[in-house]
Amino acid sequence: MTVQRRTGEVVMGLSVQTYIPGSTPMHALDARVKLVLLAAYSVALFLIQTWLGLLCAFFLLAGAIALAKLPVSRIAGMLVPVYVIVLFTVLFNGFALDVSAATDRVVASGLAGVSAGVLADWQPVVLVGNFGWYPAGFARGCFYAVRIVLLVAASLVLCFTTTSTKLTDALNSFLKPLRSFGVPTDDAAMIFSLALRFIPVTAEEFTRVRVAQLSRGAKFDVGTLQQKLRAWQTVLIPLFVGMFRRADSLAHAMEARCYGMPDVARTSLHDSSIPLAHVAALIAGLLTCIALALVF
């Protein structure tokens, strides 16, 4: 969220849209294929035990980003919250309150082989008392951090190249086998679709109400904590009232269109079959992920 002040005007931007329109092969690939490949890539990442394997996984992801023609700066910007997680991952693995006990635990648990034993021969560096830097743990933390970054980046590639509608249709397709057990898969997919659509709507409403209150002289960053909370009440209360009104209007609209009627089979506007070229891409991707997991 960014706030800019220019010539007395408050301009507030909130980026909630992740899909980047395009006509690349990655954009055209069936959403179900991309979801399955993402799952296979995620499993392969956690089965890889060597830095060489992570390097191959990185090049595989870089190839997908290049194929989709996605801006690397956009992906790096979306990964900012992940950087905090990986920082703690490296710190908690690289430093120990008792370095000798940490070494014994790693050997006993079998984690010494993770990251191909990089820095395993380095001796711990005692800093204060028993607290110190553990080189092998630091290498392991970096290994886990790269895993997390690659996993989240792969998820972003899926979000950047697939619309929420296609993701919802893919989810509904995966849930179809549960219909035989009486599970309302259409309703579950509709709920998921509405949740995705309400995120940008709620964000826009939040922006609108906050800018309106700022134009009336509201100060959200001035005063004590109690005063700040009172200032935010002028935003949150209208926001929640507007959300409930919008939900009520949506409920009436869905009821008027006969949603919720029992024993009614819904049809799809688009053909749900997967083209042979997409099936071939799925097989090639699965074989690549299996090779990464088994070889490295």
Q: What is the pLDDT of residues 226-275, one digit of tens each?
A: 777 788 888 888 888 888 888 888 888 877 877 766 666 666 666 677 88
> Is residue 166's pLDDT more than 60?
yes
pLDDT of 11 higher than 50? no
Whether pTM > 0.85 for this model: the answer is no
Q: 164, 162, 161: which is closest to 65 by C-alpha?
A: 161
CA torsion 77→80→81→85, rounded to 10°?
140
Could you tell me the end-to-end alpha-carbon distance of the chain, in angstroms, rounded to an integer?
Answer: 40
Residues in contact with 270: Cβ distance below 8 Å, sequence separation at least 6, in sequence order: 169
pLDDT of amino acid 122: 67
Neighbours of 205 (CB within 10 A): 17
The pLDDT of residue 126 is: 65
More confident residue, 126 or 194: 194
Q: What is the number of helices (H) and of strands (E) in the chain?
A: 11, 5
Confidence of residue 140 (pLDDT cuts 50, 70, 90): confident
The lowest-confidence range among 6-15, 73-82, 276-285 is: 6-15
User: What Å distances lie between residue 14 and 17, 82, 128, 199, CA to CA?
Assistant: 9, 19, 45, 11
Percent of the chain exceeding pLDDT 70 equals 76
Q: Specify which residues 2 forms β-bridges with.
A: 13
Cα separation, 263 vs 260, in Å, equals 9
Question: Comparing 26-40, 112-126, 192-206, 262-276, which segment has the lowest mean pLDDT?
Answer: 112-126
Tell me: pLDDT of 150 over 90.
Answer: yes
- The sign of the CA dihedral 152, 153, 157, 160 is positive
In this predicted structure, what is the pLDDT of residue 115?
55
pLDDT tens for 41-82 read: 999 998 988 888 899 999 999 999 999 999 888 888 888 878
Q: Tell me the percentage of the chain whose pLDDT exceeds 90.
A: 13
Report the mean per-residue pLDDT for the chain: 77
Say which residue, 15 or 20, is predicted with more confidence.
20
Determine the pLDDT at residue 56: 92
pLDDT of residue 7: 35
**Angle in degrees, 0-180, between the axes of helices 135-161 and 80-94, rounded to the nearest 10:** 160
pLDDT digit string, tens, across residues 95-111: 776 666 655 555 544 55
Can you give the pLDDT at residue 10? Answer: 39
Using one digit for the tens of pLDDT, what is the confidence trace for 206-231?
888 888 888 888 777 777 777 777 88
Which pLDDT does position 61 carry in this prediction?
A: 93
